[in-house]
Amino acid sequence: MMLTSLFVMADAIPEYRKSEGPVSANLKGHPTATDGIGTVPDSLLHQYDPFAVLPRKWLPGLREKYIPKTDQPFIDEMNFSIRPRFYYFYRDIQDGGVRESAAFGGELGFESGWYNDWFRIGLTAYTSQKLYGPSDRDGAGLLAPGQQNYTVLGEAYADIKFSNSLFRAGRTRIDIPYINGNDFRMTPNTFEAVGFRIGEIENLQLGLGHVFTIKTGTSTDFESMSDVAGAKGEDQGVTAVSLRYNFSEDNYIALSEQYGWDMFNTLYLEGEKLIELSDRCRVRFGAQFTDQRSVGDELLGSFSTQSAAVKAAVQYCNLTSSISYQWTAGSHGFLKPWGGTPAYHSSIIRDFDRAGEESFRLGFTYDLEPHGLEGISIDTSWVIGNTPDRGRHASPDQQEFGFTIDYRPSVDLLEGVWFRARYANNPIDGGADLEDIRFILNYSYDF
């Protein structure tokens, strides 16, 4: 059954999560900011878990032909990943010029099998190659400064397994609120870190570790966490502890504590509950809270701020509706130098977390499968943000309208392909309005 006459609003999913897969109107199993906290799946955090994997028939017998069997899982269970990406980005800044680029690149990864069921290694290289990029339109974020190509070994790690837990050291992706890949351009942030992910307690996901350096999206260098945050010449890292308790698949509470030595501490709390009213109707409630404040030598200045948000969403058949409210304290805006924010109102262009900002969000998500258009979904949202008119943190009010259409073909020939088109408009009262147009083509293949 489908509903075509009701205008509904989309669930508030943080923008850095939306970059990982096509939007869906299904509230069950939808992405959340704490999906990656300490998770230990059956594959024990296998590095490659794409949304689609091409059938082995595309490369019949390739591994058997070129990689002879050794009866050693370290070799026989090696995994290779190819994930090319095409991206076109256009941004028009009122009275500020145009940012425009087109690039082709992506990632090529390798992960060994387990040696004696306790040790493995992994490598991933990332690249972005210029297809189009006038020098006077630099700044789109697809290429290195000056519209230059770049290639980097973004991941090189070793894993040690203990029962259902895992220790990792080296260059790796991290997936926690405020410290994450934020993979919304060509290549993600990656980090040099050590950490544990513990899966010994039923329903409890736990992760802890220390992050030394970060390679930001277009960079080829790993820099200290403090240097990237703005404390130039310093060499400080971040110690993080995260946990999530699942009452059931879609009902949980989560916490992430991140201590940036001599910089700032960030405490994030999140909880969601899904209620299934019938086979065709679901309701989801969610709440989040963040406290961020300077610590130690306060290399980035002395400050303290908080943010809170609530949301309610309703799914009926292939339509989802939600409404959400987000508030940020008037003392200071949020610092996010190491990844995307988990804020519900994190949108295509803005995050709506300036000092003293209150914002409301409406939108809708619609799956077109019942109309014979399998794999096509539409997502749109409207966010209104109000800030103080006077005082130290006065700033102009703003809005953002965003529209996304995703297409993931269901035919075997195009399995693993995901096409995304996006438009966003960010009007600012008395300021420089922004307008974005983006076309993205992703492809995933593991073998």
- The 10s digit of each residue's pLDDT in 15-26 is 888 888 888 888
Cα separation, 46 vs 26, in Å, equals 25
Strand partners, 82: 108, 445
Return the minimum-mean-pLDDT range out of 57-66, 92-101, 168-177, 411-420: 57-66
Cβ atoms of 168 and 126 within 8 Å: the answer is: no
- From the list 148, 59, 83, 76, the residue with the least C-alpha distance to 112 is 76
Six token digits for residue 151:
């290639």
Beta strands in 201-250 (DSSP E): 204-215, 223-224, 238-248
Indicate whether 124 pLDDT > 50. yes
Cβ atoms of 436 and 421 within 8 Å: the answer is: no
Cβ atoms of 179 and 191 within 8 Å: the answer is: yes
The domain that contains 357 carries what CATH number?
2.40.160.10
Give pLDDT tens digits for 53-83.
333 344 545 666 666 777 888 888 888 889 9
Beta strands in 13-118 (DSSP E): 79-93, 97-111
Q: Is 228 inside any structural domain?
A: yes
pLDDT of residue 53: 32
Q: Is 4 inside any structural domain?
A: no
What is the pairing mode between strands 238-248 and 223-224?
unpaired
Average pLDDT of 384-409?
92
pLDDT of residue 76: 84
pLDDT of residue 62: 60
E strand or H helix at 15, and its extent? Answer: helix 15-18
Average pLDDT of 376-404?
93
3-state helix, strand, coil in the chain (%, to 5): 5, 50, 45
Cβ atoms of 104 and 131 within 8 Å: the answer is: yes
Six token digits for residue 394:
């006065």
Q: Is 2 inside any structural domain?
A: no
Return the minimum-mean-pLDDT range out of 188-202, 265-279, 304-318: 188-202
| Cα 200 from chain centroid (whole Å) | 26
**Residues contacting residue 168 through CB under 8 Å, at least 6 positions apart:** 45, 157, 158, 159, 160, 193, 194, 195, 197, 209
Six token digits for residue 112:
């060994």
Give pLDDT tens digits for 70-120.
788 888 888 888 999 999 999 999 988 999 999 999 999 999 999 998 999
pLDDT of residue 31: 83
Q: Mean pLDDT in the chain? A: 88
Indicate whether 382 pLDDT > 60. yes
pLDDT of residue 58: 46
Q: Is 20 inside any structural domain?
A: yes
Give residue 7's pLDDT band: very low, low, confident or very high (50, 70, 90): very low
Q: Is 1 inside any structural domain?
A: no
Strand partners, 49: none
Average pLDDT of 275-286?
94
E strand or H helix at 171, and its extent? Answer: strand 165-172
Q: How many domains, the chain? A: 1
329 backbone φψ class: left, alpha, beta (φ>0; ψ -120 to 50)? beta
Give pLDDT tens digits for 225-234.
999 999 999 9
pLDDT of residue 34: 86
Q: Is 186 inside any structural domain?
A: yes
Q: Is 326 inside any structural domain?
A: yes
Cα separation, 34 vs 246, in Å, equals 11
- From the list 156, 97, 86, the residue with the least C-alpha distance to 125 is 156
Q: 65: domain range?
A: 15-446
Indicate whether 40 pLDDT > 50. no
Q: Is 357 inside any structural domain?
A: yes
pLDDT of residue 54: 34
Q: What is the secondary structure of 110-125 as a DSSP string?
A: EE---BTTTEEEEEEE
Cα separation, 109 vs 154, in Å, equals 10
pLDDT of residue 299: 97
Six token digits for residue 323:
């409404």
